[in-house]
Structure 1
């Protein structure tokens, strides 16, 4: 068995490419699985979610469970082999983050905790290699009064389309110095050293991982022709309306289970009677199966 992500193995890539395109969902509806209780999936519910993960690295579950319980994403994740949470400093004691508008305190300085739009990214792109975010659960307790929808794209499909356009895009974005986060002060007032790394990389089991943000602040791209051309091609891809970019708005009881796919978030508006609340659990593990 060859490696489809090896630029020197075009035969394996073409086989994988054919299968990937054949399995790709054409609408977000294909991602949705109705479940009775995400904390305790039936065998059929688990199988249906797993099938979608294998196809496109993401699935959306829909339930009538509207409780404000951070155990929901943790118990769901545990059923897919997700055990090692990224308990970052803004998460709760159980490692799950409340994604809602904070009007004061530290969180309101960070975009996820505002009502502003968030550009295309994968989660934890700023983490060091030892804390790579490979999977994520986003569970919706309350949706916004308006807005807040997301675009989603399988990072493997982004790789495929970029490689089809020019394999040199992949070579450039796989360089260890492709994307750099400059030296910065961290949450404790300490200094974080400059950190460089690739956009595309493989984990120990040969699965593709993507590290990316469309933000221009606090990000420095390698200033060579190949890298800048690859970044421009990726930006053009993500700005398009191609069918491989899916649009979803999570409603109460729904959630996204994914291998840290590309995603963004539209701006939203709350009203006192309806304030958006999502729980986010980020994992160092990849979804099992």
Structure 2
């Protein structure tokens, strides 16, 4: 355990040990492309939920990225936890794929449609920072790995307008809960972390004015051992 050591080099070096090298320089990341997830008090971070104390719905990171810049690896490192809350909930997207397929193979076909899920442009003060993000939910990569782009958000999202897609979305939503035997939850303590191939995850809310600080690395690479 590294305790409350605020050295961000911990994240970079740990990622390299797992083959994670290519960091995503997303808009709110720090200059080194590693994000400091804490309650923000200035724009643009105040407009994005990860930089608030509010709960975050189920998602995979970077679901709004261009299809050639998808996030395949995710690393979280806790420097300081919240005094209460801030718990992560996880469900492996490969398990979700199997459960969807077993329920109805057509759900997979619906989620593989190239316009299954669309995220509208990100416009701030009249300036378009990102255009439409359209694509499938499940994508098979050239190396045979399964990738998922998903968000459980209810606003600013467009699902393909057909009954099968609506059923697939509803079923997926029904399995992301503690009744699923493959559901995992836990709260990171100081010096603890999470490294994964960008599985489905979420975060509960925590107290206002918290000193909670997590570092997040988003990678274009998958974990390689």
Using the size of structure 2 for normalisation, the TM-score is 0.95
Contact 1:186 1:192 in 2 (8 A): no
- Using the alignment, how far apart are the partners of 2:41 and 2:187 within structure 1? 23
Bigger RCO of structures 1 and 2 (CA < 8 A, at least 6 apart): 2
User: Quick one: distance in 2 between partners of 1:221 and 1:108?
Assistant: 27
Quote the Cα distance in structure 2 between the aligned partners of 1:64 and 1:128.
35
Distance 1:195 1:155 in 2: 20
1:10-159 to 2 correspondences below 5 Å: 63-159=1-97
Unmatched tracts of structure 1, length 5 or more? 1-62
Mapped to 2, the partners of 1:125 and 1:152 lie a distance apart of 16
Q: Alpha-carbon deviation of 1:127?
A: 0.3
Say which one has the larger Rg: 1
What residue in structure 1 maps to residue 224 of structure 2? Answer: 288
Distance 1:140 1:187 in 2: 33
Do structure 1's residue 227 and structure 2's residue 165 form an aligned pair? yes
**Distance 1:286-1:223 versus aligned 2 partners, 3 A rule:** same
Q: How does 1:208-227 map to 2 (within 5 A)?
A: 208-227=146-165
The one of 107, 113, 118 aligned to 1:175:
113
Gaps of 5+ in 2: none
- CA separation of 1:93 and 1:158: change in aligned 2, threshold 3 A: same
Q: How many residues align?
A: 225
Structure with greater helix percent: 1
Shift of 1:185: 2.1
Instruction: Give SS of 1:212's match.
Output: coil
CA pair 151-231 structure 1, distance change in 2 beyond 3 A: same
Match of 1:277 among 209, 213, 218: 213
Deviations 1:218-241 (A, max 9, x none): 110001011111000001111452
